Amino acid sequence: MEALPSAPSPLIALVGNPNCGKTALFNILTGSRQKVANYAGVTVERKEGSLLTPSGLRVRILDLPGAYSLDPLTPDEQVTADVLLGRRTGETQPDFVVCVTDATNLRQNLRLVLSLKRLGLPMVVALNMSDIARRKGIVIDAERLAAELGVPVVETVGVKATGVRALIKVLDGLAIPGRTRQAAVWRTPSASDIEYDQSEVRRILGLVGGDRLDGVTISDRVDAVVLHPVFGPLILAGILFLVFQAVFAWAQVPMDAIRLGVAAFGHWLGAALPESLLKGLLINGVLAGVGSVLVFLPQIIILFFFILMLEDSGYLPRAAFLLDRVMGSVGLSGRAFIPLLSSFACAIPGIMATRTIQNPRDRLATIMIAPLMTCSARLPVYALIIGAFIPQRTLWGGLELQGVVLFGLYIVGVASAMAVAFVLKRSGRGTGFQALMLELPAYHWPNLRSLGIGLWQRVEIFMSRVGTIILALMVILWALSSFPAPPPGAAGPPIQYSIAGHLGAWLAVLFAPIGFNWQISIALVPGLAAREVAVGALGTVYALSATGDDVSGALTPLIAHSWSLPTAFSLLAWYVFAPQCLSTLATVKRETNSWRYPIIMAAYLFALAYTGSWITYRVAVALLS
C-alpha cells in the first residue's frame, strides 16, 4: 500500500520478535486482510492499515517485519531497523512505536524492548498472547513493568476483537497537534550494552514475574513425538501424503457439481441465444475456457486449507528441522524449506519468503529452485491428464492410484529441485557456513478466523485471475482460433484454418519430437501467462475443433481418445519443469533486482522441460510398442 500523503494522522509502527502474534494483532487493529502464521518471518512485505479510534482520531499503522534485534542480519530486520531510524527512503519515521511482546516468552522479548527504548521514540509495550500466558499460570505485574521500563504497558489478545481495547485507548491519547518528533539515536550495541540488557531483563523479570520456566510444556510433549528421529519423518511423510490424497478424494464432489453446472448453463445459453458470432464467443470462448479452469477451485481450496493449517499451528518450522540435514546435503539451509513449501501453493509468495534467508547465495539458490516445486496452478493440468489416462483404481491399503501418481509427480519435482540445488552448490564458490537458527514456536490451535481470511484470499486471487487474465486470454485465443473462417467447402475442423491453427502447426514442428500435437502446442502459449490457462486453452481449442455440436462435453474423455499415452506422459513431464509463468519471472526480477536471474531461470527450465519430456516420450513409446 502506498503511504498516504502527509496527512496529519500519526504513523504507528508495530515492532516485535518473530512469532509474537504481531500480525494477528495488526489484523484485529486494522481489519486488514493479511495472512497470519507463526513461523519465523511471515511478514516480508510492507503492510499498512488505518484505525479510527473512538474519539475520531485516524491513525496509520505499519506492520514491520519481525526482528530479534535492531542490529539487522536479515533483509527483513534491515527494513525494520531502517524504518524505525528514519533511514528508509520514501518512508516517514514512525511517530509512535507499539512494541509487541509474547507474554509467554518475555525473557527473550524484553531485550528488543530495551533496545527500542534506547532509540528514544515514544512507545507502548503490548503484552500480547496474555490469555495464553494466564492459562499457563504466568502472572505479569504490568504496572510494575511499566514503572520499570518507563513506558506504558498494556495487555493484549491479538486474536480477539476485545483483546485490543486497552491498546486502542493508548493510541487514542495520541492526538498531539504540533507534536515534536524526537530524533532517534542509534549506536551499535557494544558487548557491555548486551551484558547490561541481559542483567536488566533478569532484574525486571525478577520484579514483575512472568519468568516461569516451565519444566515440560505441552509443546515439549508434542515435540517429543513430532521431532522424534524415527516417528518425526514418518509423521511428516504421512501429513504430506494425506494432503495429496485429500486434494483428489475430497474435491471430487464439488468438482463434479461445478462441471455439471457449467455444462447445464452452456446448454441453456445455447438454446436461449440466436445463432451468432456472440454466441460462439460466449459458449466456445468464455464458458468452455473459464469453466474448465473454474472446476479446479475445490482442489486449490483444499491444498491451501492444509498449508495454512500447518503454518498457523507452528508445524512448518518443525518440518524444516526434520528436513534440515537433507536440505543441507544439497547446500540449502533448513530455512529454505518454508519458502519451498509455500512454492507448492505458488512460487510467487515462496520467492518472496526467501527474504528470511540470511546468506545471499543460499537465498538465490532457493529462488532458482522454487519453481520446481509443483505450484497449485499446475494442479489443473495434472488433474486433467491423470483423470483422463490413469484408471480410477484402489490399490492396497485404500490408496487411490490417481493420488499416488500425483504424489509421484510432486516427488519428481522435489528431486529435480534437489539435483539443481546440488549443481548450484558445486558450481558456486564456497561461502562457508549456512546458518539454521530457526525458532520453533509453541504450538497453537490454528485460528479459525485467520484460516478463513487466508482461504478467502486464495479464492479471491484465483477467481480474479479467472475473471481477468484467464478470461482475456480465452477471448483472444477464441478470436485467434476462429479467424479467419474456413473457406467454403472445407473438410477439416474450422480451427485448422485460423491463425491459431497456423501458429500451432508451426509450434508443433518444434514440439513433435516430444510427442505434442498442434492442439497442445497452441495451449502452451497462453500457459506462459498462467499455467492453469493451458487447460482452459485446451478446452477452447478442442471445443472449436469439434465438428459436432458437443462443445460443452467434458475435456477429459476427449483427450483420453485423441492423445496417445506417451503424449500424455510427455505433457506431464513438461509440466513438472514447465517454464515459468510470466508473473513468477517478474517476481524473480524484482527480488534479485536484475534481469540476469529470471532469464537464466527461464532458459534452464525450458531446457529441463524439453529434455524431460523428450526422454519420457521416447521411453514410453519404446516400452508401449
Q: Which residues contact other proteins (rule: CB under 8 A)?
A: 68-69, 71, 73, 104-108, 111, 194-195, 198, 213-214, 219-220, 223-224, 227-230, 232-233, 317, 320-322, 324-326, 328, 334, 432-441
Q: Which is nearer to other proteins, 325 or 429 (CB)?
A: 325
Cell of 222: 508434542
The neighbouring-strand residues paired with 51 are 59
- Cβ of residue 321: shortest distance to other proteins, in angstroms? 4
Cα 623 → chain centroid: 39
Tell me whether residue 125 or residue 294 sits nearer to other proteins (CB atom): 125
Shortest spacing between CB 99 and other proteins, in angstroms? 16
- Rounded to a whole number of angstroms, the minimum distance from the CB of residue 105 to other proteins is 5
Least gap, CB of 421 to other proteins (angstroms) = 17
Q: How far is the CB of 436 from other proteins (least distance, A)?
A: 5
| Contact call for residues 130 and 103 (beta carbons, < 8 A) | yes
Complex with other proteins: residue 33 or 221, whichever CB lies closer: 221
- What residue spans of 120-230 are helical by DSSP H? 130-135, 142-149, 165-172, 191-208, 218-226
Contact (Cβ atoms closer than 8 angstroms) between residue 323 and residue 275? no
DSSP states along 490-524: --S-GGGGSHHHHHHHHHHHHHGGGT--HHHHHHH
82 vs 439, beta carbon nearer other proteins: 439
Nearest to other proteins of 149, 320 (CB atom): 320
Of the pair 176, 237, the CB lying nearest other proteins is at 237
| Identity of the residue, 48 or 197, whose beta carbon is nearer to other proteins in the bound complex | 197
The nearest distance, CB 222 to other proteins, in angstroms, is: 11
User: Minimum CB separation from other proteins for residue 440, in Å?
Assistant: 4
Contact yes or no for 370/354 (Cβ under 8 A): yes
Query: Which residue, chain included where needed, has cell 487447460?
Result: 535
Is the distance from CB of 498 to CB of 481 less than 8 angstroms? yes
Cell of 538: 485446451
Contacts of 79 (CB under 8 A, 6+ apart): 46, 64, 65, 88
Q: Give the DSSP letter of residue 467.
A: I
**Shortest spacing between CB 135 and other proteins, in angstroms:** 15
Three-class DSSP category at 208: helix
For other proteins, the closer of residues 130 and 434 by Cβ is 434
State the Cα–Cα distance between residues 163 and 127, nearest whole angstrom.
11
Minimum CB separation of residue 537 from other proteins in Å reads: 44
Distance, in Å, from the CA atom of 388 to the CA atom of 563, rounded to the nearest integer, reads 10
Q: SS3 of 100, please?
A: strand
Q: Which three cell numbers stand for residue 379?
A: 494442479
Of the candidates 294, 300, 303, the one whose C-alpha atom is nearest the C-alpha of residue 261 is 294
104/613 with CB nearer other proteins: 104
Round to whole Å and give the CA distance between 18 and 27: 16
